[in-house]
Chains A and B, each alone.
Chain A
């Protein structure tokens, strides 16, 4: 019997693409549709919308006569609102530095030395409940006449100088993002073989040298990922600046966006600020994804 005779179906149908054995295209699309729809409708389209709006003057985007195109909003940001942008960046940078300086040792001790890790993890979730409670709690603590007063008096510091100032805002921000930094560094650290440190010590390296020449390079990817996660979040927050900051800190961009946009309906300006925030966030995200992919490969 020839091959053809053996393979021909009774009705002579030829083989074609199969709808039944592999997941049909339609089913795949159907399963992905809700997620894609949600993203497009509630993220991507709105983002496009505000980018468009940012090039229009004030609230003219939606006026019957059509938008007045302008770059004024961006110019205004550069001319008048630069302090806001700078404050935002400043707060985020300081918070990130604080997290780095205090977080690295924390992560190191947690990974290398501590046995009651689950307890620590359980307590570490508290900051993650949100910046609001942290800011609230801190404000309460630092109130004149509040619980910290005796301590501050002893140190000769007036409450108000701490309460509505840069340090307390940065402190609050750092608390919230601390767990994220610790997690990123901790993961990287747990991938570093402890015997490497022992080997270095046996070879005569002092702790600082081991840190600088062994630990830092090997955990670089995780550390960078942590830095960028923390930074990315910190540029978007407004509870801490508002509740704990002076007028200067309250210029943080996130809040300004709300003020100008929702309260004062200057849509053009607020969306332009939003776009600036977005750009900063994207640069940060792009860099962190590049570095953390290296970490995943490790």
Chain B
């Protein structure tokens, strides 16, 4: 129904920066999720889009309209809170019809619309009940019906499922997505739960400490993290900090650099090979990242990209290392190995038959891997720590 543009949205609380120059363009009908740990500013940003919080700087646009200073009631939005926030003294039907009744719609019209909405969320016949008589999941569905009843142009979700138990969360998240698709409304969704974000979003914005780390699709973020934070926050990752020790001659740029005189960016180069010394490990990488000898980088290795290799095998891998198994955790579909290789501890996720064989415990193991994501050290986050299970 509406595009949403956030232009350098900023929020300061005194000296604290909650949100720093957030830029985002959301297409009409797109489902964008703001994903990040507690305190990263995602809820504050959402509330600025809603008008519940006043930005310290920047602008919010719905289509061509600058809504930055409009109060929430004038923005025609639907906001779903963390708690259902159903008005306890009103029936389900009155709750759902509230938005229409405050705008002065006539009773028959409201009643029809309420019926429609309740049907859409699968709660026909519940109109006469009070919120206290409903379960948590039902309440949240009524909350959905309530915001959809006013036909808003943008839907905003503030961790709507975090108060519900796991099974409910799994089913309800798809219901939310389904409703959003059916009504073709632009949606911005906030959560700290990765699997939720991955399951239902068109695009994901990863946030940390008030800043945007990366914006992209699920595959972008998982397979091509741009910063250390994203690499470590999304899924499990082995972080291997090191120094570039050798670089094969870089290929010529595929096209002339977009800006004359500026160094080529990663996208503009073809992949090239280089070697990283990390502790006692030598890593052979192939990536588009422009590097020079002596650069400090961090190489990230996903546990599932490390393969257990038998003696004599491994030619297909650019890197083969050997190490001692320190711990084996059988998780069911996979087994998690903690292997000490040249002074570093690596986590390896093993599936299929291997998990049973390796499950014996001690001993040496050979590991082969190809795919490494390399990120310059100054954008890496925190200590190089193997992701806990």
Contact = CB atoms under 8 A, between A and B. Distances in A.
Answer whether A and B are interacting partners.
Answer: yes
Tell me what chain B mostly uses at the interface: helix, strand, loop, or mixed. Answer: strand
B131 interface: no
Nearest to A9: B66
A105 B58 CA distance: 65
A21 B71 contact: yes
Given A6-B8, A7-B7, A9-B66, A21 B51 contact: yes
A15 B66 contact: no
A255 B8 CA distance: 71
Counting chain A residues whose Cβ lies within 8 A of the other chain, the interface size class is: 10 to 19
A10 B66 CA distance: 9
B21 interface: yes
A3 interface: yes
B202 interface: no
Given A7-B59, A10-B66, A18 B54 contact: yes
Nearest to A6: B7
A3 B6 CA distance: 11
Contact of A20 (B7, B66, B70): B70
Contacts of A21: 51, 53-54, 69, 71
A15 B56 CA distance: 9
B54 A6 contact: no
Interface in A27-65: none
A7 B70 contact: no
Q: Which of A10, A18, A22 has the most CB of B within 10 A?
A: A18
Contacts of B351: none
A21 to B, nearest CB: 4
A9 B70 CA distance: 14
Contacts of B58: 7
A10 B57 CA distance: 16
Contact of A7 (B51, B53, B57, B71): B57
Interface in B64-89: 66, 69-71
B23 interface: yes
A237 B383 CA distance: 72
A7 B54 contact: no
Nearest to B57: A15
B366 to A, nearest CB: 52
A4 to B, nearest CB: 9
Contacts of A20: 69-71
B8 A7 contact: yes
Interface in B1-23: 7-8, 21, 23
Given A18-B54, A21-B54, A22-B54, A3 B21 contact: yes
Interface in A1-27: 3, 6-7, 9-10, 15, 18, 20-22
Nearest to B54: A21
Nearest to B74: A20
A15 B69 CA distance: 10
Contacts of B23: 6
B51 A9 contact: no
Contacts of A9: 59, 66
Nearest to A13: B66
Contacts of B70: 20
A191 B69 CA distance: 48
Nearest to A17: B54
Q: Which of B21, B51, B69 has the most CB of A within 10 A?
A: B69
Nearest to A22: B54
A18 B71 CA distance: 11
B23 to A, nearest CB: 7
A21 B47 CA distance: 12
A10 B65 CA distance: 10
A212 B369 CA distance: 75
Nearest to A16: B69
Interface string B31-74: 00000000000000000000101100111000000100111000
B47 to A, nearest CB: 11
B13 to A, nearest CB: 14
Q: Which of A3, A7, A10, A15 has the most CB of B within 10 A?
A: A7
Nearest to A5: B7
B11 to A, nearest CB: 12
Interface in A144-187: none
Nearest to B58: A7
A258 to B, nearest CB: 48
A259 B8 CA distance: 73
A6 B59 contact: yes
A27 to B, nearest CB: 13
Nearest to A8: B59
Nearest to B59: A7
Nearest to A4: B8
B60 to A, nearest CB: 10
Nearest to B70: A20
B229 to A, nearest CB: 23
A269 B223 CA distance: 89
A54 to B, nearest CB: 48
Contact of B69 (A7, A10, A18): A18
Contacts of B66: 9-10
Contacts of A10: 66
Nearest to A2: B8
B8 to A, nearest CB: 5
A94 to B, nearest CB: 50
Interface of A: 3, 6-7, 9-10, 15, 18, 20-22
18 contacts: A3-B7, A3-B8, A6-B7, A6-B8, A6-B23, A6-B59, A7-B7, A7-B8, A7-B59, A9-B59, A9-B66, A18-B69, A20-B70, A20-B71, A21-B51, A21-B54, A21-B71, A22-B54
Given A3-B7, A6-B59, A22-B54, 20 more contacts: A3-B21, A6-B8, A7-B7, A7-B8, A7-B57, A7-B58, A7-B59, A9-B59, A9-B66, A10-B66, A15-B57, A18-B54, A18-B69, A20-B69, A20-B71, A21-B51, A21-B53, A21-B54, A21-B69, A21-B71
Q: Which 5 A-B pairs have the closest CB atoms?
A: A6-B7, A21-B54, A7-B7, A3-B8, A7-B59
